[in-house]
Structure 1
Amino acid sequence: MAGLFTEQAAVYAAARPAYPKDLFTKLAALTTHHRVAWDVGTGNGQAAIGVAEHYDSVVATDVTAEQLLHAAPHPKVRYLHTPDATPGEDLVATLGGEGSVDLITVAMAVHWFDLPAFYGVARRVLRRPGGVIAVWGYNHHISPVEDMMARFFNTTVPYKDPRARYCTKGYRDLPFPFDDIGLVREGEPASLDMEHEMSFEGLIAMLRSWSAVAAAKQLGVDLLGDRVVKELEEEWGGASLVRKVTFKAFLLAGTPRADD
């Protein structure tokens, strides 16, 4: 998947909605200390910048070097390229050793991970007690254009990576082996509404950033050809219309289990 995100890095950085500031305030309130945070799969750094408002330092990592070239600079954020083959021991050392991280965040990325390996590192680096891991995402459920999005989403299904099903199902079946902290629990993600003002140009840019659209293009199939874009434009209400839309996001958060 790193190859797909390399090709669409600039589009992804420009097209994706920002995360609400109160999300980071709520997450920060869950951790005992506010020294170090780790934003994994940081992409263009959207989440890392929000986390940095509440922590002394943020280590923001991604397997795709091209994504990091488009990341927003921040004095408290250190961006690091961590290729897929990076050993867990190296990650632990880079993050400051065992029990050194107060908050781990993963925005729109955890479904691509080698989950057992990632969770193993997460358990090692999270502070005990008081460390928190939070993962969240969103899919094609966007109000008030649900029907239009559902029709386009259906055209992408043959090209979707099987791991994307976690995101499609709103993380309801995502393995999340951490203790409940009174917010959400495995199998019962919290709902998170993300409001965003979007132009039609922004909509098309977002759709082009979808991994399934990129995968189809690699196979010679353009899911956003002229005819499709014209149909979407008509359903949107015109190329010049800017809409206020709401992404129906979902979130899981927890802390390491005592017996891990």
Structure 2
Amino acid sequence: MAHDTRNWFDQGGAAYARFRPEYPPELARWLAAQAPNTALAVDVGCGNGQLTAQLAEHFQQVLGLDPSREQIAHANAHPRVAYACAPAEHLPVAPGSASLITAAQAAHWFDLPRFYAEARRIGQSGAVLALVSYGVLRLDDDALHARFQHFYTQEIGPYWPAERKRVDSGYADLPFPFREQAAPALEIRKEWDLPALLGYVSTWSAVRQAREAGRENLLHHFAADLAELWGNPACHRAIAWPIHLRWSIL
């Protein structure tokens, strides 16, 4: 049995940028191929710029927008990316200028009618609008995955904001008043050791809520169980997140 007393859930402010899984390069490449041109992509609710910087490998200019100054301050730098603080409902972008508008793991926070109105305003003819999300991870070991699922749904579940259900459903119930197109099957894949997985879990808003509610014991019990099932914490295991994509041509 593993006896590791470190606080896996006290990672500090840089944890989000360090542990959040990156999107596969195929996603940005595919999105660029659907756009009418590669002049300007606008990534709304960009966070620390995970998708934003990847889009810059395919577009002449990318604008990453997020209402959080802290997220913008830690965003991934790229010579073709400009970042700015702005809400999804009021985009500082010229009318008809964007060839791609993305929102990755962010649309569930938006006032959607106002965001969609802004997307229509800034999108040029034939521009692509894409809402991207990734679902709950899958571990390669059945016992580990079962323990993780129980923690996610039953133990930490009550501390998730209501909007989280929309992410878990792949935005299936999100209003999308556009002619939806078929999306490719994509996933995020990582090879993580135990500290990396628990570092990722530490970035969850539900974990923060549980800690504020005085439920540290819940978190440490989960970490201890996972450590026992994992074995050597330095052992790397395959982890996958399904990518959900809802997109349309404006």
Tell me, in whole angstroms, the C-alpha distance in 1 between the residues paired with 2:12 and 2:99.
Answer: 31
Check whether the contact 1:166–1:174 (CA below 8 A) recurs between aligned residues.
Answer: yes
Check whether the contact 2:89–2:118 (CA below 8 A) recurs between aligned residues.
Answer: no
Tell me, in whole angstroms, the C-alpha distance in 1 between the residues paired with 2:46 and 2:75.
Answer: 8
Tell me, in whole angstroms, the C-alpha distance in 2 between the residues paired with 1:247 and 1:112.
Answer: 20
Tell me, in whole angstroms, the C-alpha distance in 1 between the residues paired with 2:218 and 2:69.
Answer: 26
Equivalence for 1:115: 112
Alignment of 1:115-194 (within 5 A): 115-128=112-125, 130-145=126-141, 146-154=145-153, 155-181=155-181, 183-184=182-183, 191-194=185-188
Q: Secondary structure at the match of 1:173?
A: coil
1:43 paired residue among 33, 44, 47: 47
2:224 paired residue among 213, 216, 230: 230
CA shift at 1:54, angstroms?
0.9
Alignment of 1:1-260 (within 5 A): 9-82=13-86, 84=87, 88=90, 91=91, 94-95=92-93, 97-128=94-125, 130-145=126-141, 146-154=145-153, 155-181=155-181, 183-184=182-183, 191-222=185-216, 225-256=219-250
Relative to structure 1, the CA distance from residue 237 to residue 250 in structure 2 (aligned partners, 3 Å threshold; closer, same or farther) is farther
Q: TM-score, normalised by structure 2?
A: 0.87
Moved more, 228-237 or 138-147: 138-147
CA shift at 1:179, angstroms?
1.7
Q: Secondary structure at the match of 1:131?
A: strand
Q: Partner letter of residue 45 of structure 1?
A: G
Moved more, 242-251 or 213-222: 213-222
Q: Partner letter of residue 226 of structure 1?
A: H
Relative to structure 1, the CA distance from residue 15 to residue 64 in structure 2 (aligned partners, 3 Å threshold; closer, same or farther) is same
Check whether the contact 1:108–1:137 (CA below 8 A) recurs between aligned residues.
Answer: yes
Equivalence for 2:5: none
Tell me, in whole angstroms, the C-alpha distance in 2 between the residues paired with 1:216 and 1:32.
Answer: 45
Relative to structure 1, the CA distance from residue 127 to residue 236 in structure 2 (aligned partners, 3 Å threshold; closer, same or farther) is farther
Relative to structure 1, the CA distance from residue 158 to residue 223 in structure 2 (aligned partners, 3 Å threshold; closer, same or farther) is farther
Relative to structure 1, the CA distance from residue 99 to residue 8 in structure 2 (aligned partners, 3 Å threshold; closer, same or farther) is farther
Tell me, in whole angstroms, the C-alpha distance in 1 between the residues paired with 2:59 and 2:217.
Answer: 41
Q: Partner letter of residue 159 of structure 1?
A: Y
Q: Partner letter of residue 65 of structure 2?
A: T
* Identical-pair percentage: 35
Relative to structure 1, the CA distance from residue 223 to residue 61 in structure 2 (aligned partners, 3 Å threshold; closer, same or farther) is farther
Check whether the contact 2:89–2:114 (CA below 8 A) recurs between aligned residues.
Answer: no
Tell me, in whole angstroms, the C-alpha distance in 2 between the residues paired with 1:153 and 1:114.
Answer: 27
Q: Relative contact order (C-alpha < 8 Å, sep 6+): which is higher?
A: 2
The total of aligned residue pairs comes to 236
CA shift at 1:220, angstroms?
2.6
Q: Deviations over 1:196-247 (max 9, x none)?
A: 1212111111111111112222323226643321111122333111112211
Tell me, in whole angstroms, the C-alpha distance in 2 between the residues paired with 1:77 and 1:156.
Answer: 36
Check whether the contact 1:68–1:81 (CA below 8 A) recurs between aligned residues.
Answer: yes
CA shift at 1:249, angstroms?
2.0
Check whether the contact 1:195–1:245 (CA below 8 A) recurs between aligned residues.
Answer: yes
Q: Deviations over 1:116-171 (max 9, x none)?
A: 1111111111111x200111112323242532321110212211111111011122
Moved more, 35-44 or 145-154: 145-154
Q: Partner letter of residue 17 of structure 1?
A: P
> What stretches of structure 1 of length at least 5 have no aligned partner?
1-6, 185-189
Check whether the contact 2:180–2:246 (CA below 8 A) recurs between aligned residues.
Answer: no
